[in-house]
């Protein structure tokens, strides 16, 4: 998708903001995602963000209007990326145990999760940003629905509610992992934690 910039007629505005230019929106958002994964929202300046995206001030404000708006767009793209990868795992041919291990490993190590500022920022600002808050709920539902698909939850009301409860807990736990951990764990530590979670799920949702 390409966004057309508008020529700013007033010379002073042109001088201060820079002339908007045509640019690739998807490419710019991809660069912004990488930026927010490494930089806390409250610590990032618009100048640094625009430099990383390769945009003039005029182009930035024409497309996004504010730092909050571009963060919302970036977070939406991020969630869609996770959803696409999750679907690949959920609809694969692996058995239940292997599938849940792949699913958990992906969610707990996705793109350097332990150092990912993007989701940490989203959760921190969600109380004041209605759009981001809705995206957080959407992501939680994606995780929970994934577990329900893996365990093929039956139509029995008690079984469904029991598994829904457990999947909601672990989904929230996985979201918490993004916030509380800053360093990537060694693989054997992650494997151990995954094995413990798998056993708990197999006991509780079968």
| pLDDT tens per residue, range 107-148 | 766 554 445 778 878 888 888 899 999 998 888 888 778 877
Tokens coding 204: 């509780």
Residue finishing a domain among 65, 93, 108: 65
The CA distance from 16 to 58, in Å, is 9
Where residue 15 falls among pLDDT bands split at 50, 70, 90? very low
Q: What is the mean pLDDT of residues 79-84?
A: 88
Q: What is the mean pLDDT of residues 36-55?
A: 88
Tokens coding 117: 């500022």
Number of domains in the chain: 2
* SS3 call for 23: strand
The CA distance from 171 to 166, in Å, is 9
Choice between 151 and 125, residue whose per-residue pLDDT is larger: 125
Please state the pTM of the whole predicted model: 0.67
Structural domain of 55: 2-65
Q: Check whether 96 has a pLDDT greater than 90.
A: no
The CA distance from 67 to 32, in Å, is 11
Regarding whether 158 and 102 lie in a shared domain, the answer is yes
Regarding whether 25 and 118 lie in a shared domain, the answer is no
pLDDT of res. 141: 84
Residue finishing a domain among 32, 47, 65: 65
């Amino acid at each position: 998708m390409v966004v057309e910039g508008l020529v700013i007629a007033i010379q002073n505005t042109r001088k201060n903001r820079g002339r908007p230019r045509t640019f690739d929106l998807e490419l710019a958002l991809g660069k912004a995602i990488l930026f927010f994964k490494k930089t806390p929202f409250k610590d990032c300046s618009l100048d640094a963000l625009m430099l990383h995206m390769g945009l003039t001030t005029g182009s930035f404000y024409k497309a996004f209007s504010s730092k909050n708006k571009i963060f919302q767009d970036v977070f939406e793209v991020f969630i869609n990326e996770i959803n696409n990868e999750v679907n690949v795992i959920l609809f694969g041919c692996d058995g239940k145990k292997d599938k849940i291990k792949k699913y958990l490993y992906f969610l707990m190590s996705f793109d350097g999760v332990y150092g990912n500022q993007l989701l940490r920022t989203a959760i921190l600002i969600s109380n004041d940003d209605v759009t981001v808050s809705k995206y957080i709920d959407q992501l939680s539902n994606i995780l929970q629905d994934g577990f329900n698909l893996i365990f093929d939850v039956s139509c029995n009301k008690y079984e469904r509610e029991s598994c829904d409860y457990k999947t909601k807990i672990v989904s929230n736990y996985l979201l918490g992992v993004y916030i509380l951990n800053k360093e990537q764990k060694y693989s054997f530590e992650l494997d151990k934690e995954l094995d413990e979670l798998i056993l708990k799920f197999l006991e509780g949702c079968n």
